[in-house]
Structure 1
């Protein structure tokens, strides 16, 4: 009997990239789903190698959520800075991926 784990099911049911399917090039979000799955499995380094912007994105979303629920120690300027850093990491890693591959 074949046993299907949750990880196997999630890996088989990832959403396709419409940009890659249409134009044949990866978009800045390509690799995100795989990186999330690797992170959930505990494979931090592999996750970062696949999509370097994942951890900064998680930090940015966490800061925004904490501010949203009322923690005033986290300023809007800090959230904007975290978002800028996150965006910068995603764009730089995307450009490097396009150049190297």
Structure 2
């Protein structure tokens, strides 16, 4: 008798946005979970369409991780610049949603 196949759907385990649930308005982070899920499924353009700042955020986190293990010269300035770029992208996307 074959074992039953278990189906795993990542969308069933995503956390709801409390801001959207309570106030009915998207927050600046709305879409990031689905965007990561799309990357894991290999849909890279869909991930960008869902949350345009996803790749710059991944680059920032990768840079911070590499800097943790291998100290990079002027890393503080680079991380600050990447963080400012990410905040600008996130806020631009957030404002664009309401237009």
Instruction: Give the TM-score normalised by structure 2.
Output: 0.88
Offset of residue 3 of structure 1:
4.9
Query: How far apart are the structure 2 equivalents of 1:5 and 1:62?
Result: 31
Query: How far apart are the structure 1 equivalents of 2:39 and 2:82?
Result: 20
Unpaired runs of at least 5, structure 2:
none
Query: How far apart are the structure 1 equivalents of 2:34 and 2:61?
Result: 19
Offset of residue 74 of structure 1:
5.6
Q: For residues 74 and 67 of structure 1, do their structure 2 counterparts lie closer, same or farther at Cα, with a shift above 3 Å needed?
A: farther
Helix, strand or coil: the match of 1:42? coil
How far does the alpha carbon of each residue in 1:6-28 deviate from its partner, in whole angstroms, 9 at most, with x for none? 3x2x1112101100011100000
Q: Report the count of equivalent residues.
A: 96
Q: Bigger CA drift: 59-68 or 45-54?
A: 59-68
- Does residue 1:90 correspond to 2:79, yes or no? no
Helix, strand or coil: the match of 1:46? helix
Aligned residue number for residue 63 of structure 2: 63
Unpaired runs of at least 5, structure 1:
none
- Does residue 1:5 correspond to 2:12, yes or no? no
